[in-house]
């Protein structure tokens, strides 16, 4: 008997069945790959808003409104940082960007504090973006001619709350106070 005789005696139905099993595994393998690719694309999250943008570039955007995703409110918040009267040791780092109701944002940052009066003409349900930066900072005087010895740099968070009309609020707190 030669090696060909075994192949000649093999039932063609068995050969077809073996071929279809092979095709089934290939189909299953391709299906798993396609599903994994689809799932990884669906989970993709744009984190470009976390990258600091040079001030000159921010001004090139012109006046924006915080309505389309996380990048616009972050850009507006970056533009507000010079108004904080804080000097930062290093570039502040964005640690939170969240859309929420104005009342919730005020609760997170502790507004108003006891003894403070807050004039607010917007309802608490107004949708706003809250952007929180973390950095070591120190207070700089409002009058550059004032003799003032700056204090040490202290760790903390600076927040900016911005609504769709472009109205903004700015302040600083301990990070633990805001992120609770």
> pLDDT (tens digit, 9 = 90+) per residue, 120-167?
778 888 899 999 999 999 988 777 677 777 789 999 999 999 888 878
pLDDT tens per residue across span 50-104: 666 666 665 555 555 545 678 888 888 888 888 888 899 999 999 999 999 999 9
Residue range(s) defining the domain that contains residue 166: 48-179
CB 162, CB 168: distance < 8 Å: yes
Residues 26 and 79 in one domain: no
Same domain, 72 and 26: no
Question: Does 62 lie in the same domain as 15?
Answer: no
Query: If you write DSSP's letter for every residue of 99-161 in order, what string do you get?
Result: EEEHHHHHHHHT-SPTT------S-TT-EEEEEEEEEEEEE--SSTTS-------EEEEEEEE
55 and 9 assigned to the same domain = no
Instruction: Give residue 57's pLDDT.
Output: 64
- Asked if residue 55 and residue 34 are part of one domain, the reply reads no
In this structure, the answer to whether residues 155 and 87 fall within a common structural domain is yes
What average pLDDT does range 90-119 have in this prediction?
Answer: 83
**pLDDT at residue number 43:** 47
Separation CA 78–CA 131 (nearest Å): 9
Average model confidence (pLDDT) across the chain: 75
- The structural domain count of the chain equals 2
Task: Based on the fold, state whether residues 24 and 113 are members of the same structural domain.
Answer: no
How far apart, in whole angstroms, are the C-alpha atoms of residue 111 and residue 109? 6
Q: Which two tokens stand for residue 14?
A: 């068995």
Same domain, yes or no, for 138 and 64? yes
Q: Is residue 19 domain-shared with residue 100, that is, in the same domain?
A: no
Q: Are residues 110 and 151 in the same domain?
A: yes
Rounded to whole angstroms, how far apart are CA atoms 94 and 143?
Answer: 28
Residue 42 predicted with pLDDT over 50: no
* 39 vs 78: which has the higher pLDDT: 78
21-38 per-position pLDDT tens digit? 555 766 666 676 666 655
- Claim to verify: residue 163 and residue 134 sit in the same structural domain: yes
What integer pLDDT is reported at residue 72 of this predicted model?
Answer: 84
Reduced to 3 states (helix: H, G, I; strand: E, B; else coil), residue 47 is coil
Say yes or no: 21 and 70 in one domain. Answer: no
Angle at 32 between CA 29 and CA 37, to 5 degrees: 125
d(CA 15, CA 2) in angstroms, rounded, equals 20
């Amino acid at each position: 008997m030669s090696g060909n005789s075994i192949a000649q005696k093999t039932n063609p139905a068995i050969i077809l069945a073996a071929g279809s099993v092979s095709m089934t595994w290939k189909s299953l393998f391709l299906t798993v790959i396609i599903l994994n690719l689809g799932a990884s694309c669906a989970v993709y999250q744009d984190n470009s808003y976390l990258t600091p943008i040079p001030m000159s570039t921010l001004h090139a955007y012109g006046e924006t409104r915080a309505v389309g995703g996380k990048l616009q409110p972050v850009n507006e918040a970056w533009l507000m940082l010079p108004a904080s009267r804080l000097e930062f040791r290093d570039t502040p780092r964005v640690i939170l960007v969240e859309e929420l109701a104005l009342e919730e944002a005020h609760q997170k940052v502790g507004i108003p504090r006891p003894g403070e009066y807050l004039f607010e003409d917007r309802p608490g349900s107004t949708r706003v973006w809250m952007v929180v930066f973390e950095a070591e900072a120190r207070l700089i005087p409002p009058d550059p001619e004032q003799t003032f010895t700056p204090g040490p740099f202290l760790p903390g968070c600076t927040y900016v709350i911005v609504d769709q009309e472009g109205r903004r609020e700015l302040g600083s707190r301990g990070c633990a106070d805001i992120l609770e």
